[in-house]
Structure 1
Amino acid sequence: MGNRVAREDYEWVYTDQPHADRRKQILAKYPEIKELMGPDPRLKWIVCMMVTIQILAFYLVKDMEWKWLLFWTYVFGSCLNHSMTLAIHEISHNTAFGNNHAKLNRWFAIFANLPVGLPYSASFKRYHLDHHRYLGGDGVDVDIPTNFEGWFFCTRFRKFIWIILQPLFYAIRPLCINPKPISQLELANVVIQFTFNALLYWLWGVKPVVYMLAGSMLGMGLHPISGHFIAEHYMFLKGHETYSYYGSLNLLTFNVGYHNEHHDFPSIPGRRLPLVKKIAAEYYDDLPCYMSWVRVLYDFIMDDELSPYSRVKRKLKGDVKLE
């Protein structure tokens, strides 16, 4: 169980990411896919409903016994909060109100951030767009683990701990890899979020705050939905840097499992990504994919050839325009 994995560095490649070329090929053959682009009119109402449900849950847990509070935090709160982070991912692509209302999307993401407890939506958008433009880019794509993560979390037990601590590493990684000046919107995100947290504590005490924050940490740590963190880009098969998942948890995650389709067409809302796969089936049917995020987590921990180093990384050419 304590054996070190064989990999001691990333998988360095000297080719461009595959998504831009595949997008051109698909659009040339199936121009009707352009009609799938644009906002999802249902997204804003779904997000409002989710925020309302969590606020109701905050009220319901305020007098609950601790054992039941922790039970419902993991069983319900963690699922909803992780789902909310993926709603924020959707909004970061302007799919709530469209590209013509970019600022409205950003403020709406701050609203969607409220039940999560940790102010991150404004920062997430800035870094996530880099992830799409410069997938695997050295010093730019903060989805890539640091050298320390790859070096240290190299045994089965350490990989298990690493998965539990995923939220921590996602928070710290940007500061280590690609720090950016703090924007006014990020400051607003922090002030609004901590004001909400304080109001929640003042109204209903510490238990709703624990339910909220623990739900976010547990939901993005050792949790079935967190399999998507590993499934999306960790190189289970050499030569493949993005993988899709077609299992039932897509229903809770805005189809984030359709990840090849998402990187090919980031302006298409998650609700319409299955149509992309259906229309351009010959481009996706032969790509490696998953049907279980739980199995992805298990295989990642147990396979001694896999580690945080199991990522494709590339040196970026020329000038990189970052926000």
Structure 2
Amino acid sequence: METFPDFDPSKADFLWTYQEEPHRTRRQEIIKAHPQVSKLCGPEPLTKYIVLFVVLLQITTAYLLRHTTVLSVKFLGAAYIIGATANQNLFLAIHELSHNLGFKSPSLNKIYSIFANLPIGVPYSAAFRVN
């Protein structure tokens, strides 16, 4: 087994700080300077429809390619263009849903993030949220 004599995991893990989380402070500064911005905060009504479309696109594509050879140009092209783009979209949607930006109800956001995670295969949405 190869060892790394100069590697100290206690220094490489994370940067630990006791300062306030910067996103919260910056958000408060922006809202104080521009109160009209707060009207833009909250759930985005289109999120649920976009997620539904992308999940259905992924499932439909998988169904249509069910008899296609994995190493064929058709399959690899669909995986690269449709699959990768759709997965990235779903990763972002799951992130937004973890911030309760899909629905007003936190439980609906959690359930919908599990639905959005279905085509990805790896249970990503459950590990993304702490609570």
User: What TM bracket, shorter-length normalisation?
Assistant: 0.7 to 0.9
**Structure 1 residue 86 corresponds to structure 2 residue 86:** no
Choose which of 111, 123, 128 in structure 2 pairs with 1:124: 128
Q: 1:74 to 1:111 in 2, by over 3 A?
A: same
Match of 1:62 among 42, 60, 66: 66
Matches within 5 A, 1:1-323: 9-10=11-12, 13=17, 15-65=19-69, 66-68=71-73, 69-98=75-104, 101-126=105-130, 323=131
Q: Separation in 2 of the partners of 1:123 and 1:30?
A: 35
Letter in 1 for 2:19: T
Counterpart of 1:123, as a letter, is A
3-state SS of 1:115 partner: coil
CA RMSD after TM alignment? 2.1
Alpha-carbon deviations, 1:18-44, whole Å to 9, x = none? 323222222211111111111111110
Count of matched residue pairs: 119
Identity %: 39
Amino acid at match of 2:111: W
**Partners of 1:109 and 1:40 in 2: how far apart?**
14
Q: Which amino acid aligns with 1:71?
A: G
Alignment gaps of 5+ in structure 2: 1-6
CA–CA separation in structure 2 for the residues paired with 1:33 and 1:94: 18
Instruction: Give TM-score, length-normalised by structure 1.
Output: 0.34
Q: Which amino acid aligns with 2:98?
A: S
The higher-RCO structure (CA 8 Å, 6+ apart) is 1
For structure 1, list consecutive stretches of 5 or more residues without a partner in the other structure: 1-6, 127-322
